[in-house]
Amino acid sequence: MAGKKTQRRRRKGTARKKRRRGERSWLPKLIGAGLIAGALIVLGTYAYFSRDLPSVATLRDYRPPQTTRVYDRHGKVLGEIFTERRTVIPMSQVPRNVVLSVLAAEDADFYEHEGLDYYGILRAVGRDIMEGRAAQGGSTITQQVVKLMLLTPERTISRKLRELILARRLENELTKDEILHLYLNNVNFGHGRYGVQEAARYYFEKNASELTLAEATLLAGIPQAPSRLSPRRNLEAARRRQRYVLAQLEDKREVYWPDLSKEAIAAARDAKVEPVPLSEGSGAAPEVLTIARRVLRDAAGEEALGAGGYKVHTSIDLSLQRKARAALQRGLSAIDARQGYVGPIRKKRRRGPKATPPTESLRMGRTYFARVTGVDAEDEQIRLDVAGHGAILSMRDAARHNPERLDAKRFAKKGDLFPVSIAQFGSEEDPAVARLERGPEGAVVVIDPRTRAVLAMIGGFAARSGFNRASQAIRQPGSTFKPVVYARAIQSRKFTAASLVVDAPAVYDEWKPRNYEQWNYQGAVRLRQALARSINMVAIRVVEDVGVQDVAQFARQNGITTKLEEDMALALGASGVRPIELTNAYATFAAGGRWAPTRLVTRIVAPDGAEIPLTPQEPSRDVMDPSEAYIMTSMLRSVVTEGTGMPAQRLERPVVGKTGTSNEARDAWFIGYSPSVVAGVWVGFDDQRSLGKRETGTRTALPIWIEVMGAADQSPSDTDFAMPSGVIRTRIDPSSGLLAYPGQEDAIDEVFLSGTAPVEVARPPDVADPNLFMMEQFDEEGESASSDGAKLPREERVLGGMAAP
């Protein structure tokens, strides 16, 4: 019995052992199967997320877009052209304190790991799982390079897995220094600045190689959150981040960078660095940047604009550019004050403009009279109905016409009218953005007549890109065109500065031109006087004698490219011209008769240092002899000494010029020059409205010109115009234009081209003219008459425009 029990126990024990051995034999298999499954999952995941990944090898030849800089004549930055603001520099130009600061801020173990921080990854994955999304960082510099340059910025777990795969590949493809070089030249430092060189220039106006440790640690803290940690936006937050970077430098100094002394770190901690004020060149010359962009595209191709890295040198003087715009702004603001161009238009009874009728669509470049529909006091915006379309006007953009700095609620009321243009089209969700056009606009051009370098170019009141009135506006020049007429007359030898021409009413094919002072006709006047006093009828008679086509051709030779109507109204500047072209035509007089195209871009240097040839310009040409040009300059001098330009005398230096006012005072001009500088000023509304009562070239444009010339001409004040050969100076009788009689007390000096001076001597007043007796014997058929039939005394008769011999 006992034996049987013993056997049963043995059998049960043997069975249990077999079961345990069976269980132990399955455990390794199960673990092995799990490992294989895990490996397959990892491999599958790796294979899945490795699909269509970009090649890290492309980063060896990566050429990111860089910033193209535009410089003035003195090497100051006028502005930048870019898709991304970036200037790539080699590692040799990155100082060690910048490298250490970036490593301390972003990845102290960078030179130790193989692209991944596994502890950081586990920490990030844990938080990602808790959040259900990619919410935590944990990226090494290598991973950040991948994210910046190879992947999209989306925050998803799948994108993170691709980032890990590419980070390991990148470490196998590039050296640590090459990866760090990519990071330092591509990371965002805020305000659209990419790379450490752009950051150094923007925040401290120096190169990266010149950064101190204090400056480097302040910059190194920015990439974590460029908007929040920008020292320009939040200096205190930036300094807190800087203190963290300095603490990291100190904590890890002995392990990673023992060459960095504690004293240097302490000194950086004590230094209170902050960004320098923004450069004065920022936004000063948008007109120049637009032209520089076009010239760069023409010279180097469209791809040059995207690639960037070029240096475009111009003839602009940044200081003068700023002063010229300030002068224009003061001049236009003075007109605003005189004419009441402030606030909205409130109709008085039935007078005044009406709202623009509804149109199917809005367009830029047109002025609309918009009605106020409401005011948004919180956002400081005015809601408008612009020809049936909704628009908003920001109070910030209305500052020029809001001298009392009223808020939106007090500035405008429902039903008020504003003249506006469209700055930005609207959409179904957002209204259009309007720009206030309450006051007039203007343009200023300053040229060196010897080189035709453009020293300043102002296209409007505000420094913003868009319509450049200096080079694009086509406006009636009024009397500023008369010097072109008289220059051709002098050149033709039909006229001299002393020629007598009749100032009297006349009719030409039902057109009855008038002088500005319609009641005042002066009879026969010398050509010099006619120019100084801006007498219209004399200019018309000169064109009639010289020939309209002849004058138009001369204007084209002088660089006027706009269409000139070949009729008698050309004499009064009825055909539109561009301000820069007419100003350059005056530069021909100042340069002794030689026309040349204006030059603004002087040199383009490619990123590799090679100079890019500029597109050839039209060749220079002689339009007048130096002697002819000098006669014209001398006549224009009388405009300043005794005519419409007399206020220019307060410059207290030899200057010449001409005023101009078009019909109904739609345009006001003054163009003039000294021996070394030519300047032109135009003022008017873009939509051809009248500037207002009593606004003329003398009152409106000349004060601006005087201020601009005072800033532009730094030559000695006694520098005068040199008289060339081929010109003679002689004394004449001011009444007849003939040679002065001996002892004549009121005789004046006059200049003539050689061979054109009068040879007849004027008679003293006490000597009778024998021709008078004969004239009295003639009947009416034999008497001389003006073009409208008026009888004229002998001294007013003109033969070919010159005093009768």
List CB contacts of 646: < 8 A, sequence separation 6 or more.
640
Cα 126 from Cα 121, distance rounded (Å): 8
Q: What is the rounded average pLDDT for all residues in the chain?
A: 87
* pLDDT surpasses 80 at 788: no
Q: How confident is the model at residue 509 (pLDDT cuts 50, 70, 90)?
A: confident
**Helix 96-106 with 235-251: angle, nearest 10 deg:** 100
Q: How confident is the model at residue 794 (pLDDT cuts 50, 70, 90)?
A: very low
Predicted local confidence at residue 64, as pLDDT: 87
Q: What is the pTM of this model?
A: 0.81
pLDDT tens column, 407-416: 999 999 999 9
List CB contacts of 54: < 8 A, sequence separation 6 or more.
150, 151, 166
**Residues of 214-227 as b/e, b for ≥16 C-beta within 10 angstroms?**
bbbbbbbbbbeebe
What type of residue is 367?
T
Predicted local confidence at residue 145, as pLDDT: 87
Closest CA to 117 of 149, 99, 144, 152: 144
* pLDDT surpasses 50 at 778: no
The mean pLDDT of 752-770, rounded to a whole number, is 87
β-pairing, 621-622 with 656-661? unpaired
Cβ contact 341:333 at 8 Å: no
Q: Compare 46 and 573 and report the one with higher pLDDT.
A: 573
Predicted local confidence at residue 397, as pLDDT: 87
The single residue of 106, 163, 581, 796 carrying the catalytic annotation is 106
Cβ contact 164:147 at 8 Å: no
Please give the DSSP secondary-structure letter assigned to residue 20. H
Predicted local confidence at residue 11, as pLDDT: 62
Say whether 50 sits in a helix, a strand or coil: coil
Q: Compare 332 and 776 and report the one with higher pLDDT.
A: 332
pLDDT tens column, 635-660: 999 999 999 999 999 999 999 999 99
Cα 555 from Cα 585, distance rounded (Å): 8
Cα 412 from Cα 414, distance rounded (Å): 7
Q: What percent of the chain has pLDDT over 70?
A: 83
Predicted local confidence at residue 135, as pLDDT: 47
Query: In the Cβ-directed half-sphere of 435, how many Cα atoms lie within 13 Å?
Result: 18
pLDDT tens column, 1-49: 555 556 666 666 665 655 555 555 666 666 666 666 655 554 454 444 4
Query: In the Cβ-directed half-sphere of 787, how many Cα atoms lie within 13 Å?
Result: 21
Predicted local confidence at residue 549, as pLDDT: 97
* pLDDT surpasses 60 at 69: yes
List CB contacts of 738: < 8 A, sequence separation 6 or more.
732, 758, 760, 761, 762, 803
pLDDT tens column, 679-713: 999 999 999 999 999 999 999 999 999 999 999 99
Cβ contact 370:391 at 8 Å: yes
Say whether 773 sits in a helix, a strand or coil: helix
Predicted local confidence at residue 194, as pLDDT: 94
The answer to whether residue 171 is catalytic is no
Cα 478 from Cα 474, distance rounded (Å): 12
Predicted local confidence at residue 782, as pLDDT: 42
The mean pLDDT of 225-247, rounded to a whole number, is 94
Cα 390 from Cα 433, distance rounded (Å): 9
Q: How confident is the model at residue 770 (pLDDT cuts 50, 70, 90)?
A: low
β-pairing, 798-799 with 389-394? unpaired
Q: What is the 3-state secondary structure (H, E, C) of 646-715?
A: HHHHHHCCCCEEEEEECHHHCEEEEEEECCCCEEEEEEECCCCCCCCCCCCHHHHHHHHHHHHHHHHCCC
The single residue of 421, 479, 634, 638 carrying the catalytic annotation is 479
**Residues of 786-805 as b/e, b for ≥16 C-beta within 10 angstroms?**
beeeeebeebbebeebbbee
Question: Greatest CA span in the chain, whole angstroms?
Answer: 185
**Residues of 33-72 as b/e, b for ≥16 C-beta within 10 angstroms?**
eeeeeeeeeeeeeeeebeeeeeebeebeeeebbbbbbbbb
Cα distances from 34 to residues 38, 41, 66, 231, in angstroms, run 6, 10, 52, 53
Predicted local confidence at residue 506, as pLDDT: 83
Predicted local confidence at residue 339, as pLDDT: 95
Range of weakest confidence among 53-67, 514-528, 770-784? 770-784
Cα 136 from Cα 120, distance rounded (Å): 10
The answer to whether residue 479 is catalytic is yes
* pLDDT surpasses 50 at 156: yes
Sign of CA dihedral 146, 147, 150, 154: positive
* pLDDT surpasses 90 at 349: no
Q: Compare 799 and 589 and report the one with higher pLDDT.
A: 589
Predicted local confidence at residue 86, as pLDDT: 92
Cα 659 from Cα 638, distance rounded (Å): 12
Predicted local confidence at residue 658, as pLDDT: 98
Tokens representing 670 are 């003054």
Q: Which of 142-146, 210-214, 398-402 has the highest mean pLDDT?
A: 210-214
Cβ contact 352:345 at 8 Å: yes
